[in-house]
Each structure stands twice: as structure tokens, then as C-alpha cells.
Copies of this chain bind each other. A is one copy, B any other.
């Protein structure tokens, strides 16, 4: 019997969970396709943007991840066509047939139809964006140091974060913190007391997915760090100079976008109902209506829980969905009936700064130092499991002496350098 072809598009939390669930499944050939050659631990991406962690601390090369899993082939490619009738996916000029297809392409930041704002206010979804944001923030301080015009210096030291979800809160808190704790010792001319960090949220409170009491704590914590929190205000008219916040025009050289999600471009090629954000509706077993062999998971899908709420776009949802799809394919292989996906909600958490966090889990809501310890513990445990190592040092000294090459990341945008028209020329 021919082995079944299982194609997974996207190596985020969802896609990797599917692949891992199918390890050692006989009679199948898995193809994992991603634009990047690495898996990203996205919950700590803001730490790269804030210069707290290195890119290699929160990434792992896909080929290392799957080196010992023999039924999988990793491909770095950009999927541009889905053919549901012919059952193929196409990346570049190469097509590959599938018996099962798992779409786990994630989402990107959306600008509510103003995509040209991206230039002035990068989002924080990819490693490149994190490096770009890190560079902009640090450069703003460098330029403030040599700026002689006090008005421009003030603009260089004004940072606006748009979006009061966990990412926006984490970034705003971190900018205020590195200013007060680290940078203030490093600069001579620039008056870092002039630093202004503004967090803008269109809704009535920050961290709207959390209970109201925790939103209030988070806002107070942010304010104690010096962050100005503005709710029920929308950002508009973004430019290099600044942006409009309601009635006021704020001059700021650094704007960071942590609001709005837009779907993968591939969603246009997927038939059937979608929600207003463009996410794809799936059946209770996470497959497409009328396509039981095609699954959509993670941020790309909209899944409604028993209470009628849509599941949030966070790592635990994607991971559980991925494992469920893996089990479902296994069930198909062994002729068993499929189950229905149920999300087991362990809770949500966000950190505002050192010793400051909010946690909502299993009916318990808490904040402060203990919440922060919980946040650190959970993230360190997951990060270490993710990196499968106890100390980064070991990896470093190991790779230094063995040339083990832990840093194999392709992060520049021009990896297509090789490709475009060359094939034609030959």
C-alpha cells in the first residue's frame, strides 16, 4: 500500500504539534512546509524586541526538531496555491499531492485596511519584526543622545504602543522598565526623564480577555512604571512624525502595532464560511465542511467553545488543536470514529514588568509578585522543554567546540535571492 501523504503548512505551535503527534505512525509520509527554517517560541518574542533575549534563545531549527523523526520531510517554501480538487499544494514551482492537509499558517497583524501604516508601526508576529522593533527603539535612544533640538529629542523619546492586549501591555511595560533600569545609566546628554510611553487601547480596558479586576491591576501597574494608558481611543493618521489619538495629534518617532489580526493570504483560497476577521470556520473535528481530510487549526481557524465564545489566538489553543488533529488522523488510519475537539483551558497570564503580572486560571485571579513568579516559571519551563536543554551555556560551549550550529536561522528577507528568475535562464 502506498504511504498516505500528509502535508502540514506552517511550523508554528499548531503545525509542530500535529507532526509530533504523528511520530512513528507507520505508512505515512509527512511533509512540513514553512517559510522559515525555524520554529519560533512566540510568547517570548516581545523579549527579543526588548533586547532581553537573543533570537536563537526562542527559536529552534526545524531540521533539528525533526531530525530523529523519520517519517517527516521539512521544506522551506512559500505555499502559494491550494488545489482542493486535485489535492495538491504548490510552493514556488513545485507541487505536492496530499491525502491529508493541515493548514496551520497563523495570522499576521492587521491595520484595519490601512496596511501602509505598517512602515510606521511594525507589528510583532515574526522574528524579523522583533529585530526591527528592537533596532527602532534602541536607535531612537541613540539619536536622542546626539539631538540638539529639544523638541525633536522629545519626539525621539516618545513611544506609542497601539493595542492593549497581552503583547501591547508587555511591550509598553518593558520599554518603561529598560528606560528606568538599564538605559538611564548609559546615556549622558539625553534626558531620559523625558521618556514618554503611551499605551493606546480602543476598548474600555487593557487585557480585555481577563477579568475586570485584573485589567484594573494591570493598568495601575503600568502607570506605576510611568506608562500613560489611554483607553477608548483609536489610533489614526500614522506617519513617520506621529499619529492621531482621538482629538489629539501626538508626535512620536516610534510606534509599535499590537492591535488587530489579519488572516493568512491563503484563506482566500479556502471555500466556506469565515468570520469577520477572515478566520476559517471548521467542523467540530477541526476539518473543513465537505473536506474531511483537510484541517485548519490555530490562528487560521475560528473555533467556538461550548459557551459560544471563540477560542483565543494563543499557543495552548494551537497546541491542543494540533494534538487533536494528530489523534484524529491516527483514528482514521485505524478505522476508529473521530472525536470532537474540546479545549482544556489552563488559564491566561500576562506580565507587565519585573515582579508584576496577572494570572487568571481555574477560577483563581491573582496578581503581583506571585503572579509574576508563576509567569516566569511557566515560561521558563515551556521554553526549556521547547529548547530541550537545561542551559543555553551548554549549547554555546557545545556548539563552539563541536560546531553543532545551534544558530542556524535564516532571518533576512531576501532568501529568495537565489530563486526568482534563475530557473528560466538556465
Binary contact track A386-412/B, C-beta < 8 Å → 1, others 0 = 000001111011011111111111111
- Decide if A400 touches B53 in the complex (CB within 8 Å): yes
Question: Quick one: which of B76, B174, B412 contacts A132, CB cutoff 8 A?
Answer: B412
CB-based contact B156/A410 at 8 Å: no
Decide: A418 near B187, CB < 8 A? Known: A53-B399, A393-B393, A412-B132: no
A240 near B: Cβ within 8 Å?
yes
List residues of chain B with CB within 8 A of the CB of A177.
403
- By the criterion CB–CB under 8 Å, are A354 and B403 in contact? yes
Which of B75, B142, B181, B396 interacts with A37 by CB under 8 Å?
B142
Partner of A376, one of B94, B401, B405, B414: B401
Task: Indicate if the CB atoms of A405 and B178 lie closer than 8 Å.
Answer: yes
Whether A336 is near chain B, meaning CB under 8 Å from some CB there, is no
Which of A1-9, A144-152, A199-207, A307-315 lies at the interface with chain B? Answer: A144-152
Residue numbers in B under 8 Å from A121 (CB-CB): none
Within 8 A of B (CB), among A109-141: 131-132, 134-136, 138-140
Interface residues contributed by chain A, number (CB under 8 Å): 84
Within 8 A of B (CB), among A139-189: 139-140, 142-143, 145-146, 148-149, 151-152, 156, 174, 177-178, 181-182, 185-189
Instruction: Answer whether residue A241 sits at the interface, using C-beta atoms and an 8 A cutoff.
Output: yes
CB of A344 within 8 A of chain B?
no
Determine if B354 and A241 form an interchain contact, defined as CB atoms under 8 angstroms apart.
Answer: no
Contacts of A391 in B (CB 8 A): 393, 397
Option from B48, B92, B132, B399 in Cβ contact (under 8 Å) with A407: B48
A residues lining the B interface (CB < 8 Å): 37, 47-48, 50-57, 63-64, 67, 73-77, 91-92, 94, 131-132, 134-136, 138-140, 142-143, 145-146, 148-149, 151-152, 156, 174, 177-178, 181-182, 185-189, 240-241, 253, 354, 376, 380, 391-394, 396-397, 399-412, 414-415, 417-419, 422-423, 425-426
23 A-B residue pairs with Cβ-Cβ distance under 8 Å, sorted by A, are: A48-B407, A51-B405, A53-B396, A53-B399, A54-B407, A57-B396, A75-B142, A76-B142, A76-B146, A94-B146, A94-B148, A134-B407, A134-B408, A135-B411, A138-B408, A142-B410, A143-B418, A149-B423, A152-B422, A152-B423, A152-B426, A241-B425, A393-B394
The 5 A-B residue pairs whose C-beta atoms are closest, nearest first, are: A393-B393, A63-B186, A76-B142, A51-B405, A51-B408
